[in-house]
Protein backbone atom coordinates (compact mmCIF):
# COMPACT_ATOMS: atom_id res chain seq x y z
CA UNK A 1 0.00 0.00 0.00
CA UNK A 2 1.49 3.41 -0.98
CA UNK A 3 2.12 5.99 1.75
CA UNK A 4 -0.67 8.45 2.46
CA UNK A 5 -0.22 11.73 0.59
CA UNK A 6 -0.56 15.14 2.23
CA UNK A 7 -3.76 15.75 0.25
CA UNK A 8 -5.30 12.51 1.53
CA UNK A 9 -4.33 13.47 5.07
CA UNK A 10 -5.99 16.90 4.65
CA UNK A 11 -9.21 15.30 3.42
CA UNK A 12 -9.29 12.83 6.31
CA UNK A 13 -8.56 15.54 8.88
CA UNK A 14 -11.54 17.47 7.49
CA UNK A 15 -13.70 14.33 7.90
CA UNK A 16 -14.22 14.13 4.14
CA UNK A 17 -14.34 10.94 2.13
CA UNK A 18 -11.22 10.46 0.06
CA UNK A 19 -12.24 10.25 -3.60
CA UNK A 20 -10.17 10.47 -6.75
CA UNK A 21 -11.88 13.72 -7.89
CA UNK A 22 -11.31 15.38 -4.49
CA UNK A 23 -7.66 14.36 -4.46
CA UNK A 24 -7.20 15.51 -8.07
CA UNK A 25 -8.86 18.90 -7.49
CA UNK A 26 -6.78 19.59 -4.38
CA UNK A 27 -3.60 18.59 -6.18
CA UNK A 28 -4.43 20.93 -9.08
CA UNK A 29 -5.10 23.81 -6.68
CA UNK A 30 -1.83 23.15 -4.85
CA UNK A 31 0.01 23.56 -8.17
CA UNK A 32 -2.04 26.48 -9.50
CA UNK A 33 -2.92 29.33 -7.17
CA UNK A 34 -6.06 31.28 -8.12
CA UNK A 35 -7.22 28.71 -10.67
CA UNK A 36 -10.60 29.18 -12.32
CA UNK A 37 -13.07 26.32 -12.57
CA UNK A 38 -12.49 25.63 -16.27
CA UNK A 39 -8.73 25.28 -15.68
CA UNK A 40 -9.37 22.93 -12.77
CA UNK A 41 -11.73 20.82 -14.89
CA UNK A 42 -9.21 20.60 -17.74
CA UNK A 43 -6.36 19.53 -15.46
CA UNK A 44 -8.48 17.05 -13.51
CA UNK A 45 -9.64 15.50 -16.79
CA UNK A 46 -5.99 15.28 -17.83
CA UNK A 47 -5.28 13.26 -14.70
CA UNK A 48 -8.44 11.19 -14.34
CA UNK A 49 -9.95 11.06 -17.79
CA UNK A 50 -13.65 11.80 -18.05
CA UNK A 51 -15.11 13.75 -15.13
CA UNK A 52 -18.20 15.93 -15.34
CA UNK A 53 -18.30 19.68 -14.85
CA UNK A 54 -20.84 19.11 -12.09
CA UNK A 55 -18.54 16.71 -10.24
CA UNK A 56 -15.76 19.31 -10.16
CA UNK A 57 -18.18 22.06 -9.10
CA UNK A 58 -19.44 19.79 -6.32
CA UNK A 59 -15.89 19.00 -5.17
CA UNK A 60 -14.97 22.72 -5.14
CA UNK A 61 -18.07 23.49 -3.05
CA UNK A 62 -17.35 20.68 -0.57
CA UNK A 63 -13.69 21.67 -0.23
CA UNK A 64 -14.65 25.34 0.24
CA UNK A 65 -17.31 24.46 2.83
CA UNK A 66 -14.75 22.32 4.69
CA UNK A 67 -12.27 25.21 4.77
CA UNK A 68 -9.65 23.43 2.66
CA UNK A 69 -10.12 25.84 -0.26
CA UNK A 70 -10.87 29.54 -0.48
CA UNK A 71 -13.09 30.96 -3.23
CA UNK A 72 -12.43 34.48 -4.44
CA UNK A 73 -14.24 36.39 -7.16
CA UNK A 74 -12.88 39.81 -8.03
CA UNK A 75 -15.39 42.14 -9.70
CA UNK A 76 -15.73 41.25 -13.39
CA UNK A 77 -13.89 37.94 -12.99
CA UNK A 78 -14.91 34.32 -12.77
CA UNK A 79 -14.56 32.58 -9.42
CA UNK A 80 -11.02 31.52 -8.54
CA UNK A 81 -9.90 28.97 -5.97
CA UNK A 82 -6.80 28.65 -3.82
CA UNK A 83 -5.55 26.39 -1.05
CA UNK A 84 -3.99 29.19 0.97
CA UNK A 85 -6.58 29.39 3.75
CA UNK A 86 -6.77 30.54 7.34
CA UNK A 87 -4.37 33.47 7.21
CA UNK A 88 -6.74 36.21 5.98
CA UNK A 89 -4.40 37.33 3.20
CA UNK A 90 -5.55 39.68 0.45
CA UNK A 91 -5.09 39.92 -3.32
CA UNK A 92 -3.84 42.29 -5.99
CA UNK A 93 -5.50 42.05 -9.43
CA UNK A 94 -4.23 43.34 -12.77
CA UNK A 95 -6.85 45.49 -14.49
CA UNK A 96 -5.60 44.45 -17.94
CA UNK A 97 -4.95 40.71 -17.88
CA UNK A 98 -6.67 39.63 -14.65
CA UNK A 99 -3.56 38.13 -13.06
CA UNK A 100 -4.04 37.68 -9.31
CA UNK A 101 -1.29 37.62 -6.68
CA UNK A 102 -1.39 37.17 -2.91
CA UNK A 103 -0.76 40.08 -0.57
CA UNK A 104 -0.05 39.33 3.07
CA UNK A 105 -2.30 40.81 5.74
CA UNK A 106 -2.08 44.59 5.94
CA UNK A 107 -1.56 44.82 9.71
CA UNK A 108 -1.50 42.40 12.59
CA UNK A 109 -3.63 39.29 12.98
CA UNK A 110 -6.91 38.38 11.30
CA UNK A 111 -9.06 40.21 10.50
CA UNK A 112 -6.05 42.60 10.16
CA UNK A 113 -8.27 45.61 9.47
CA UNK A 114 -10.58 47.31 11.90
CA UNK A 115 -13.85 48.69 10.50
CA UNK A 116 -14.98 52.13 11.57
CA UNK A 117 -18.10 50.43 12.95
CA UNK A 118 -18.96 46.76 13.22
CA UNK A 119 -22.75 47.25 13.63
CA UNK A 120 -22.69 44.60 16.35
CA UNK A 121 -21.04 41.96 14.15
CA UNK A 122 -18.16 39.84 15.38
CA UNK A 123 -15.70 40.48 12.53
CA UNK A 124 -13.40 37.52 11.83
CA UNK A 125 -12.20 38.26 8.30
CA UNK A 126 -11.40 41.26 6.12
CA UNK A 127 -11.27 40.93 2.35
CA UNK A 128 -9.30 43.51 0.43
CA UNK A 129 -8.67 43.65 -3.30
CA UNK A 130 -5.92 45.88 -4.56
CA UNK A 131 -6.21 46.79 -8.26
CA UNK A 132 -3.43 47.86 -10.59
CA UNK A 133 -1.36 46.84 -13.59
CA UNK A 134 1.02 43.89 -13.41
CA UNK A 135 4.67 44.16 -14.56
CA UNK A 136 4.00 42.18 -17.76
CA UNK A 137 1.13 44.47 -18.81
CA UNK A 138 3.05 47.64 -17.91
CA UNK A 139 5.76 46.53 -20.34
CA UNK A 140 3.24 45.75 -23.11
CA UNK A 141 2.13 48.33 -25.63
CA UNK A 142 -1.27 49.91 -24.80
Q: What is the pLDDT along the chain (142 residues), one digit of tens a residue?
A: 455 789 999 999 999 999 999 999 999 999 999 999 999 999 999 999 999 999 999 999 999 999 999 999 988 889 999 999 988 788 999 999 999 999 887 665 656 677 778 788 888 777 888 899 999 998 865 5
The domain spanning residue 118 has which CATH number?
3.30.1490.190
Tell me whether residue 77 is in a domain.
Answer: no
Asked whether residue 134 is marked as a ligand-binding residue, the answer is yes
Domain count for the chain: 2
127 assigned binding-site residue? no
Query: Hey, what long-range contacts does 35-43 have (CB within 8 A, 24 or more apart)?
Result: 35/80, 35/81, 35/82, 36/78, 36/79, 36/80, 36/81, 37/78, 37/79, 37/81, 38/78, 40/81
Asked whether residue 54 is domain-assigned, the answer is: yes
96 lies in the same domain as 132: yes
Say whether 109 counts as a known binding-site residue. yes
The reply, when asked if residue 94 is annotated as ligand binding, is yes
pTM recorded for the entire structure: 0.84
Q: What is the model's pLDDT at position 18?
A: 95
Establish if 13 belongs to a structural domain.
yes
Residue 61: per-residue pLDDT: 97
Write out the residue range of the structural domain in which residue 21 sits.
6-72
112 assigned binding-site residue:
no
In this structure, the answer to whether residues 57 and 92 fall within a common structural domain is no
Per-residue confidence (pLDDT) for residue 106, from 0 to 100: 66
Amino acid sequence: MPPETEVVTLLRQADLRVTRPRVAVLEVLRRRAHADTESVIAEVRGELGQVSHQAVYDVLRVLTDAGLVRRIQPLGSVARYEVRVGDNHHHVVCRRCGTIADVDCAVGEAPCLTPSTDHGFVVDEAEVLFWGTCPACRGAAP
